[in-house]
Amino acid sequence: SYVLSQPPSLSVAPGKTATITCGGDIIGTKSVHWYQQRPSQAPVLVIYHDNLRPSGVPERFSASNSGNMAALTISGAEVGDEADYYCQAWDSGSDHGVFGGGTKLTVL
């Protein structure tokens, strides 16, 4: 089955740039989506189709996808960005959705 790999945690100082990676076999050929989840809340889509932002998501959130790695970048990180972040893609081979294991972002 298709696997997406994320680092379990990442720390960044306020105002700096955080980059969360999502590794997968030829992930660059898939459409990757990113979600933000705060404690005890449902996930929120922050990036779809590799690098598009839904309305209401700040421009500080951007993403890329190429080769075997996708990445979510948060520029000028704020304390309010502290959350778990998940990448997600569709594995057409198995007809399954797949989530990465999640990355806990700490801003301090």
Partner 1 sequence: EVYLVESGGSVGRPGGSLRLSCATSGFKFEDFDMSWVRQRPGKGLEWVSVINWNGAIRSYADSVRGRFTISRDNAKKSLFLQMNSLRADDTAVYYCAREGGYNYGYVYWGQGRLVTVSS
Amino acid at 83: A
Alpha helices, DSSP H, located in the chain? none
**Contact between residue 70 and residue 27 where contact means Cβ atoms under 8 Å apart:** yes
SS3 content of the chain, % helix, strand, coil (to 5): 5, 50, 45
* The pair of three-digit structure tokens given for residue 15, joined into one six-digit string: 């105002």
Least spacing, CB of residue 103 vs partner 1, in Å = 10
Cβ distance to partner 1 smaller for residue 13 or 83: 83
Site string for partner 1, 27-66 (x = CB under 8 A): ----x-x-x-x----xxxx-xxx----x------------
Whose structure tokens read 């778990």? 84
Shortest CB 20 distance to partner 1, Å? 13
- Give the shortest CB-54-to-partner 1 separation in angstroms: 7
Which two structure tokens, joined as six digits, stand for 51? 């690098």
Closer to partner 1 by Cβ: residue 54 or 67: 54
Residue numbers at the binding site for partner 1 (CB under 8 A): 1, 31, 33, 35, 37, 42-45, 47-49, 54, 84, 86, 88, 90, 95-102
